[in-house]
Amino acid sequence: MKMILPPPLSETSIGPLSDLEAGLCGPDAPAVRVAAMGRVESLERTLRAALAKGVSSSEYPQYAALLEACQASREVLQVEVRSI
């Protein structure tokens, strides 16, 4: 029986999917991470301020989902990115 193996990673690597991923894999990764974290924190402050002022019940789920996305973004940004 012949075993079928996938091609080596170097042949299938597609590279970074975004400028952010490329930056997080590059030599300036710490600065890129800090800048991205700052943008996420700024968005979160804006969302929380809007919620504190009050949003309609129909808008609330969108704001809640965006806050969850901010939390997920912070968690992802804390992980060191390695290129394949």
Model-level pTM?
0.74
pLDDT at 18 over 60: yes
- The pLDDT score that the predictor gives to residue 56 is 97
Compute the distance between CA of residue 82 and CA of residue 84 in angstroms, rounded to an integer: 6
Compute the distance between CA of residue 29 and CA of residue 51 in angstroms, rounded to an integer: 33
- The pLDDT score that the predictor gives to residue 13 is 64
- Three-class secondary structure of residue 61 per DSSP: helix
Percent of the chain residues past pLDDT 70, beyond the cut: 83
Compute the distance between CA of residue 45 and CA of residue 51 in angstroms, rounded to an integer: 10
Distance, C-alpha 41 to centroid of its chain: 12
Query: Which amino acid, 70?
Result: C
Instruction: Please report, for the chain, the start and end positions of each structural domain, with discontinuous segments joined by +.
Output: 17-77
